[in-house]
Structure 1
Amino acid sequence: MPPKKLLVVSADIGEGHNATARAVEERARRLWPGCEIRRIDTLDLMGPGVGPGFRWIYRVNVDTTPWLYDFFYRALWRYRWFAASSCRVVGVWSGIGLAPIIEEYCPDLVVSTYPLGTGGLDWIRRRGGLDVPVAAIISDFAPHPFWVYSEVDLHYVASQPSLRAMYQARPDARGAVGAPPVVAAFHPADKTTARRGCGLPEHGLIVLVSCGSLGFGSMERAVEAGLAAGPDICVVVACGRNEALRARLAARAEDLAHSSAERLVPLGWTSEMPALTAAADVVVTNAGGATALEAVACGRAVLMFEPIAGHGKANAELMAQAGLAAVCNSPAELTGALHTLAAQPALLAQAQQRALTHIGALDFDAEIAALPGLARHHGARPLSAPDAFFAHAATPTIPQQVGAVLVLAEPPVGTPQQLADHIAALITDRAPALPMLHRRLDLRPGRRPRWLPVDDVDPARHLRVRTVGTAHGIAWPAAVREFFGTAVPLDAPPWQLELVCDADTGQTAVLAKMHHSLGDGLAVTATLIGLLSDHEDPRIAPAQPGYARLANPPANPPANPTEPAQRETWGSRARHLRRVLRGLASLASAGSSPGGGPVGRSTPVRDYAMVELPAATVRATAREHGVGTAALLLALVGEALHRADPVGTAARDRLRVMTPRTTHAIRRAGGSDHGGCYQGNHTAALALDLPVGPMPPTWRIVAVADALARLERADQPVAAQAVVDALGRLPAPLHARLVRLIYRRRYFSLIASVLPGPRKAHYVQGVRVVSVLPVLPLADGVGLAVGFLTWGDMIGVGVSADTGLMRDPAGFAGALRRAFEDLATDAPRSPTGRPTAHNTTQE
C-alpha cells in the first residue's frame, strides 16, 4: 500500500546527505503521486547552535586537524565501547528532538540519509515508538558505526564490500546493496552530446575534479597533477561554494590560456553537475560520498586522490575493493594514472564498464518502491537467563544441543531427494515465522551472549539427505551417532536436519538437533511441528517474539492502578519469595550428589539408543499403581539401572537425577513472555535421589512418586528457576564460571526428562509421523541422559551416553523396555511391606 506521508530525515552538513534526500523525494513523487513528503534537518532539531557548531567542527577537523578526525574515526572501529557509548549519546540527543516531529506528523514511512538522524530513530524504536517502516540510505561507501543501527529495518549500502563493513560495524543490523542514491539526472549519457552542451572540447581526455560542496582537500594539487598528465587533457574543476579556490584557479586558467587551448575550466557552485559528469572521462574526488556515487551512476571512472581524513580514506579503500575506483595517494600517482588512461583507451573503457555493470544490476526506483513493505527488524537481544545458562554450559567436549528423531510410518512417495526438496521449501517458507530458526548465537569472550537476527535462512546450511544400509557402507545407528555426535555450527542459526532413509528396511526418519539455548524439549517439538507438519503452518498466525512488543505498546494502559491491585502485587511477590526460600532450603539440604553411577571425566565420544513404549499402556499402568506417568517412567530408569548393574546399584542404592520439569504454570509464564509461542527454555529442575538398589518394582514406583511430590511441595522448581535467573544478572564471565561449577557431576549423576507431546497425528508430505525419539545433552562428568517424549500412540525413549562413562546404552535401553513389559504384564501386587523411609526420603 503506498504511503500517505513520507518523512525524510537529513541534515545540512555539506550537500551529500541532502543530495541523497532529494533522490529519495524525487522517486517518491514519481511512485506515489499523492504522498505528502516532509524533510527535516536533524541538526536543527538537536538544539540552537548545534547545526553551525557541527559544521564548523567538521570543516576544521578535515581542513586543519585531520589527525584528530582520523583518531576519532579509528577509535570508533577499534573500541567497541566507545562506538556504542557515542552512538547511544547521539541517539538520545537526536531522538529527543525527532520524537515530537514524528508524533505530530505521523508518517507511514521514514527514510534517513544522515547517521545522527538514524541514531535518533533507533532510540525512538527502542522506547516502543515508530511502528512504521524505517530505512537508512547511506551516502558513503564506508558505513562506519555511526551509520548503522540495530532497530532500523533496512540499510542500503553502496557495494558488497560496504555490506561486509556494515555487518562488521553492527552484526545484528539488516542491510542490502543498493543503487547509487542520486537524482535521475545522473545516468549514463552520450559523452559527445554532454560535452557540446557544456561547451567543452569534444576530443581528448576530460577530467572532472570535484570534492563536494565545500571544496575540501588538496584540489589545487589535483589540478596541477591533471595538467601534468598530458597537453591534451582538459581539467574541469567544480569548486562548490569555495569561492577563494575558484578565484585562484581562474587566475591559473588565464595564465594557461596564453600558451595553449582551453585546458582548465574552474567553476563555482553549479546546477550542471549531471551534464559535467556525463561529459567527463574521469572523475577525481577525495571523499567517496555523493560525488563518487554520482560518477558511478553515470558510468564514469573514478580516481580517489589524497582521500580526506576519516571517512574519506575508508570510502576510498572500499571503492577500490569493489573495483569502482583507484586510489592515488600523491600527485605523481594521479599524474601517472591519468596519463595511462589517456594513452590506453581500453583501460579507461574497462573502468567505465565496471561502473556500468555495477549499476546495471540495481534499480533505485524498485528499492524505494519496496520500502513501505519492509518487515520489522529487531537487533541483537541478550539471551534470557535460562537460555544463557546453556550457552555457558556448552564446551567442545560437551555440546549442549537438544535433538529428536521423527520416525515416519512409511517411505514417502517419490525419492528421498524429492522429500528433501519439500522440506527445503518448508524451511524457506516457514522459518521466518519461527523465531527459533532465524537467529544465531553471538558468543564473545567476556560479554553476554546475544541472539543475532538472520534474515535469510539457507536450506542448504541446515538440511542434508542421506541413504544408509549395507550397499551404502553405513548402518542406521552409525548415521545417528555421527549426526548427533557433531555439534551444530554457530556461524548460522544453530540447528540442523538430516533426512535418513534406510535402503535395507525402508525406514525413513528426520533427525533434528538444535542448540539448547534455542529452547527446551517442548520448544523444540513445537518448532519442528510448525516447520514440518502438513497442517500446522506458522505463517497463518505467526507468533511474534516477546521483544516485538517494544514497537506495540499495550493499548489503553491503566492510568491509575488501584490500591487493591497494588496490595495484590506485593502479596504475590511475598508469596513467591516464601516459595523461593523454601525451595532453596530444600536444595541446600539435598547437598552434593551421593556419587556413583555413570560419572567421571567426560569424553567427546557419544552413543545413542532408542526404544518405544505404547503410550496407552504406560498411562494405564501408571493409573493401576496410583501414580503419574512421570513417576512411573523415572522409576523405570531406576529399575533399568539396577538390572544393568545389580552389583553397583546394590552398593550405591541411590543416584542423584537432575529432572527438568515442564509444569503448566511454567508453560503459561513462557507463553506470556514470548508472545504465546513456545521458544526458549521454560523448565525447572528437581534434584531427585532415584532409588536404584534392589527392591520390588512396585516399591520403587511408590518411592519415586513420593519423592517427586515432596520435592514439588518443597518448591524446588521455583527455587531452581530463581537461582538461574539470579545467575543471569551477574557479569558474563562470572555467570559462565558459576554455570560450569554447578552443572556437573558433583551435583547429579544423570539426567532424565519426561516431556509432554501432541496427541493428534501429524504428517510430513502426507506421511504420518508415528513417533518422536528425544535426544538429550549431557553435562560435565555426567555420562547418561534419558528422555521420554509422548507422541500420539507412542512414548519415545532416547538414551544419550558418553561411551567413556557408560559403554552399553543399548543394553540399558533394552533393560528399560523389559522392565516396563514385566511391569505391564503383572497387576500391582500388595507387597509384604511399604517402602522404607530410607527409600523414599531425600537425604
Structure 2
Amino acid sequence: MSFQPRRVLLISATIGEGHNATARAVEEAAHEVWPGCEVVWLDALRIMGRWVPGAFNWIYVTNVESTPWLYDFFYDSLWRYRWFANASRRFVGAWCGPLLRREIRRVDPDMIVSTYPLGTAGLDWMRRHGDLDLPVSAVVSDFAPHPFWVYPEADLHYVMSEASLRAMHRAEPEAIGAVSVPPVRRDFQPRDRTEARAEFGFPEAGFTALISCGAMSFGAVERAVDAALRVEGLARVLVVCGRNEALRERLLARGEQRLVPLGWVEDMPGLMACSDVVITNAGGATALEALACGRAVLMFEPIAGHGRANAELMADAGLAELCPEGSQLTATLRRWVADPQEVGEREERALKHSRSAEFADQVAALADLPRHHGPRRLRPQDAFFVYATTPEVPQHTGAVLRLEPSPDPARVWCEHLARRIQDCAPSLPMLNRTLVTRPRRRPQWRNAGPVDPALHLSFRELGPDQDAEGLTSEFFSTPVRTDRPPWELRLLHDAATGRVTLLAKMHHSLGDGLAVANALIRLLCDGHHPASAPSASGRSWVQQAPLVLRGLLGLATSAGAPDPAWTGRSSHARSFGHVTLPAAQVRARARDQGVTSSALLIGLVAEALHRALGEQRREARFRVMVPRTARTGRDGAGTAAPGNHTQSLSVDLPVGPMPLVWRIRAVADALAEPDHSGQPEAAGAVLAGLGLLPAPVHAWIVRRIYGRRFFNAVVSVMPGQRRPAHVNGTRLSQVLPVLSLADGVGVAIGAIGWAEEFGFGITTDPGLAPDAGRLAAHLREAFDELRERR
C-alpha cells in the first residue's frame, strides 16, 4: 500500500438497500486501512434529478412485481443487441456524467468507488471526456455483471466469482476486472449458531430457514413460506419483511407457530447466524452476506432480469442451490433437513469463497490502480499524424538523452530501466495504448494491458564496430512498431568511458514534443515530477470567434511554399545532427537584441539556412511550419495530457543576405505577425474541424496540406526544464529533440532548453537537403559570430 487517500468518494443509490450495503462495506474497509481518511457519499439517482429516485424505484418495483416479462425483455436485449446496450449506457452516462462532474469537483476526492451501475456510467462519461484523472473502480455486488454494470473506462471492477469475471468480459470485452470476496461489513462472519439463537430467544435445537428477499421483500416470498412449511422436521421459518409491512401483517395473520415474520432487522448478521439455510431470490447483497456468514444459500423463484442471471451464475459456481419452483424448494429442504452433512459441505464451500482474501486489502489496492481506458477514437489533432504517415516518411518524434559518465555496467542499467518501465509505464496513458487502424475507419486507441519491457527496450554496447552516430541514425530511421504501444527505448553504453545515452521515439499521434518529454521524464527520471495542471478557462468561443475568422481568412489567402528549395520526392534515407548552446548566453544575447529566446534560436536557424542555401538566393524567403504549444497558456491542457496540443504558425524566414542581428529581428517580427492575425487559433480550429469529416476525406486533406505544397521545413522550439534531473542516480546533462519530416519536405529542426543548455536536433532527407551535420555546423558558427559581436 503506497498511496494514502485523504478523501474517498462513494457513489451509490437508494434503490432497495443492496447498493448502499456494499458501499457501507467499502466505507468500513477504507477507515480500517486509511485511518483518518474522509469518506463522502453521493447518491447517483438524487444527482440525476429530484424526481429520479422515486420514479426509478417505482419502475423497478412495478417491473419486478407486475411486469416481469418487460424487465426480462429489457435485460435480455442488453445482452442480445450490443448496439442497444451501448446506446443505453451512453445515454445514461451523458445524463449522469455532467451532473456528477460538478459534485466531484466540489468534493475533490483522491479516489472514487462506485457501487451503482448508473453512477459508473457517469464516471465512464467523465473519463472519456478527460475529466477524471484519479483511480475509479466499481464493486459489482451482483453475481452476474450485466452490460449496464461494466464500463471500459473504469480502472477495475470487483466481481464476485471467476464465473462472474467471464460474464463481465462477455458484457464488455474491454473492461478490467478481478474477483473479490463478498463486499460486506466485518460483522457478517461465522458465529456460533447456539449462542446466536439464545440472543434472539430461539430454541437451541431445530433446523431453521431464513427467508430474506431484500429491503422491499418482493417476489415470491409467500410461496417460499408455503413451500418451506410443507417440510416435516423444519423447526422454524424466519421471514425478514424489511419495509414491506403489508407482507408482515399477512404472514402474522396466518397464526402458524413455526413462522416468525419480522420487520426491519438491524442485526442481520446475528439473524443469519441463527439459521441453517438462507432463502433469497435476487443474488445480491443478501446472498453475499449469507456466504460471508458461512451459510448455505437457496435461490427460489429468482426475480426477473438480473435476479435470474445471478441465481444461475451462483448455482454454476457451486455457491447456491437453484429452486425455480415450490416443489423443488420443498424437496431440497427435506433433503437438507435429513442430511446435515450436505448442509455442512455447502457451508464449507461458502466459507472457502468468503475467506480467500481480505476485503480491506482489496479496497486498499484500489488507491494504486493504473488508469485504464477503453477503445476511443483519436482526437483529430492526433489522427492527423496517422494520416500523414507514408512508407518513406514515418511520423515519430523522440529525443536523445545524454547522461554523465556512470560506473554502473550495462547490465545494471538494463535492469534498472526494465524495472522503471514495469513500474511506471502502466500509470502513463501515452505508454500503454495501442494504435488500431482500419481501412476507411477512424483510428482508435486500445488499452494494451501490462507493458512488457522486452518489447520496448533494446541495448547496444558501443565499440569499434558500433559507434553512437550510426546506431542513433539506424534507430531513428526505422519506423516505430504499431503492433504494440508505439514507443521504443534504446540504451547505448560505452564501457570504456562509462557514458550512457538513451534514445527514445514515439509515434507522433501519441503526443507532441512537450508530451513526449514529460512522459520520458516521468518514466525515466528519479524522484517525483509533477506535471502542470490544465489551466482555467479563458476566452469563450464568442470572444475567440472574430480572431479565428480573421485567421481563417489569412490562411485562405496565403500562398503555398514560396520556394521549392529542399522539397521534392521523399526517400527513406535520413541524416541526423545535433548541436548544443549555453542557455545563459542564449538568454543574454536575446536580451541584448530585445527578442525572446525562441525568436533568437529561430533566427539562428534562419542564418544557418542562409549559409547552407548559398548566396545565390538573394531574395528567397524560406517558409517554415512552427508548432507552438497550446498546453501552458490560457485554456491549456497541461503538460501531462497525452496527444498533440499545438498551434502552428506559417512563417517566412528571411534567408537572403543581411547582417545576422537584422535577421534575428526580422524573424522576431515574422513570428509575431501570425499572432496578431489569429493564424494559430484558426489553424487549431481547422485541425479540430477536420475530425467532423468522414475518415477517408480527413486522410485525403491531411496528405494534401501537410507537405511540400505549403512549407519547406518544420522548425520547433519547445519549453524544457531548468532544474537538473537524474536517471538511476546519474545526471541527465543533455536532451536533444528528434523531429519527423513531412512528406516531400527535407528538413526538420527542433530545439529544447534543458538545464544549462539549449539542445538542437536536426533531421534531413539527404536526397532533398544538405547533411544534417552541415546545418549543425552552420548553427554553431552563427551563434559564435553573434557571441563575438557583443
Q: Judge same fold: TM > 0.5, yes or no.
A: yes
Partner of 2:58: 53
Aligned pairs, how many? 763
Partner of 1:68: 73
SS at match of 2:579: strand
User: Shift of residue 727 of structure 1?
Assistant: 3.6
TM-score, L = length of structure 1: 0.65
Counterpart selection for 1:85 from 87, 91, 99: 91
Contact 1:389-1:724 within 8 A present in 2 as well: no
User: Shift of residue 404 of structure 1?
Assistant: 0.7
Partner of 1:723: 683
User: Shift of residue 407 of structure 1?
Assistant: 1.1
Counterpart selection for 2:408 from 414, 439, 443: 414
Q: Counterparts of 1:21 and 1:597 in 2: how far apart (Å)?
A: 65
Counterpart selection for 1:538 from 529, 545, 548: 529
Q: Counterparts of 1:544 and 1:579 in 2: how far apart (Å)?
A: 30
Contact 2:575-2:771 within 8 A present in 1 as well: no
Partner of 1:500: 492
| Structure 2 counterpart of 1:584, one-letter code | L
TM-score, L = length of structure 2: 0.68
Q: Counterparts of 2:346 and 2:641 in 1: how far apart (Å)?
A: 54
- Residues 1:236 and 1:142: Cα distance change in structure 2 (over 3 Å): farther
SS at match of 1:78: helix
Contact 2:297-2:321 within 8 A present in 1 as well: yes
| Structure 2 counterpart of 1:501, one-letter code | H
User: Shift of residue 812 of structure 1?
Assistant: 1.5
Contact 1:91-1:121 within 8 A present in 2 as well: yes
| Structure 1 counterpart of 2:560, one-letter code | G
| Structure 2 counterpart of 1:774, one-letter code | P
User: Shift of residue 83 of structure 1?
Assistant: 1.8
Of the structure 1 ranges 65-74 and 141-150, higher mean CA displacement relative to structure 2 is found in 141-150
Of the structure 1 ranges 463-472 and 412-421, higher mean CA displacement relative to structure 2 is found in 463-472
Partner of 1:557: none
SS at match of 1:187: coil
| Structure 1 counterpart of 2:559, one-letter code | A
Contact 2:12-2:119 within 8 A present in 1 as well: yes
Of the structure 1 ranges 212-221 and 332-341, higher mean CA displacement relative to structure 2 is found in 332-341
Counterpart selection for 1:636 from 608, 613, 627: 608
Q: Counterparts of 2:11 and 2:713 in 1: how far apart (Å)?
A: 60
User: Shift of residue 610 of structure 1?
Assistant: 3.8
- How do 1:623-772 residues align onto structure 2 when only pairs under 5 Å count? 628-637=600-609, 658-662=624-628, 669=633, 673-674=636-637, 681-687=644-650, 709-710=669-670, 712-715=672-675, 718-729=678-689, 731-734=691-694, 736-737=698-699, 738-748=701-711, 750-755=713-718, 757-758=720-721, 761-772=724-735
Of the structure 1 ranges 297-306 and 724-733, higher mean CA displacement relative to structure 2 is found in 297-306
User: Shift of residue 774 of structure 1?
Assistant: 1.6
User: Shift of residue 406 of structure 1?
Assistant: 0.3
Of the structure 1 ranges 161-170 and 44-53, higher mean CA displacement relative to structure 2 is found in 161-170
Q: Deviations over 1:456-503 (max 9, x none)?
A: 9968489636243569999874477457735366976x6554433244
Q: Counterparts of 1:662 and 1:684 in 2: how far apart (Å)?
A: 5
Partner of 2:14: 11
Of the structure 1 ranges 361-370 and 612-621, higher mean CA displacement relative to structure 2 is found in 612-621
Q: Does 2:570 match 1:611?
A: no
Partner of 1:589: 558
Q: Does 2:503 match 1:511?
A: yes
Q: Deviations over 1:378-436 (max 9, x none)?
A: 999997764564466568986543211101121x233344445555676788889x977
Partner of 1:487: 480
User: Shift of residue 590 of structure 1?
Assistant: 1.7
User: Shift of residue 223 of structure 1?
Assistant: 11
| Structure 2 counterpart of 1:182, one-letter code | V
Q: Deviations over 1:731-788 (max 9, x none)?
A: 5444744445433454345534344545665443443333222222344565654434
Counterpart selection for 1:777 from 729, 734, 740: 740
- How do 1:159-238 residues align onto structure 2 when only pairs under 5 Å count? 178-189=180-191, 212=214
User: Shift of residue 722 of structure 1?
Assistant: 1.4
Q: Deviations over 1:547-581 (max 9, x none)?
A: xx79xxx9xxxxxxxxxxxxx99997587357525
SS at match of 1:662: strand
Q: Counterparts of 2:547 and 2:292 in 1: how far apart (Å)?
A: 64
Q: Counterparts of 1:571 and 1:211 in 2: how far apart (Å)?
A: 56
Partner of 1:812: 771
What is the RMSD of the two structures over their aligned residues, measured on CA atoms?
7.0
Q: Deviations over 1:666-704 (max 9, x none)?
A: 67526x524587976454334456799xx98x7999889
- Residues 1:769 and 1:24: Cα distance change in structure 2 (over 3 Å): closer
Q: Counterparts of 1:53 and 1:360 in 2: how far apart (Å)?
A: 37
- Residues 1:766 and 1:49: Cα distance change in structure 2 (over 3 Å): closer
SS at match of 1:728: helix
Q: Does 2:363 match 1:363?
A: no
SS at match of 1:669: coil
Contact 1:635-1:700 within 8 A present in 2 as well: yes
Q: Counterparts of 2:759 and 2:7 in 1: how far apart (Å)?
A: 56
Contact 1:217-1:308 within 8 A present in 2 as well: yes
Of the structure 1 ranges 722-731 and 617-626, higher mean CA displacement relative to structure 2 is found in 617-626
- Residues 1:746 and 1:376: Cα distance change in structure 2 (over 3 Å): same
Q: Counterparts of 2:177 and 2:430 in 1: how far apart (Å)?
A: 20
SS at match of 2:398: strand
| Structure 2 counterpart of 1:466, one-letter code | F
SS at match of 1:590: coil
Q: Counterparts of 1:399 and 1:631 in 2: how far apart (Å)?
A: 28
Q: Counterparts of 1:215 and 1:169 in 2: how far apart (Å)?
A: 28
- Residues 1:684 and 1:165: Cα distance change in structure 2 (over 3 Å): farther
Contact 2:64-2:71 within 8 A present in 1 as well: no
Gaps of 5+ in 1: 255-264, 555-567, 830-843
Q: Counterparts of 1:575 and 1:153 in 2: how far apart (Å)?
A: 42
Contact 2:32-2:360 within 8 A present in 1 as well: no
Q: Counterparts of 1:528 and 1:428 in 2: how far apart (Å)?
A: 14
- Residues 1:238 and 1:24: Cα distance change in structure 2 (over 3 Å): farther
Counterpart selection for 2:750 from 783, 787, 802: 787
User: Shift of residue 719 of structure 1?
Assistant: 1.5
Contact 1:11-1:114 within 8 A present in 2 as well: no
Q: Deviations over 1:18-47 (max 9, x none)?
A: 544665677799998999999979579426
- Residues 1:314 and 1:4: Cα distance change in structure 2 (over 3 Å): same
User: Shift of residue 339 of structure 1?
Assistant: 13
Identity %: 37
| Structure 2 counterpart of 1:487, one-letter code | V
Contact 1:208-1:280 within 8 A present in 2 as well: yes
Q: Deviations over 1:271-299 (max 9, x none)?
A: 58656766888877653312331243234
- Residues 1:33 and 1:66: Cα distance change in structure 2 (over 3 Å): same
Q: Deviations over 1:259-281 (max 9, x none)?
A: xxxxxx98755858656766888
Q: Deviations over 1:106-162 (max 9, x none)?
A: 999998654456778999999999999998654323444545689999875545776
User: Shift of residue 828 of structure 1?
Assistant: 13
- Residues 1:463 and 1:47: Cα distance change in structure 2 (over 3 Å): closer
Q: Does 2:547 match 1:576?
A: yes
Counterpart selection for 1:296 from 280, 291, 295: 291
Partner of 1:841: none
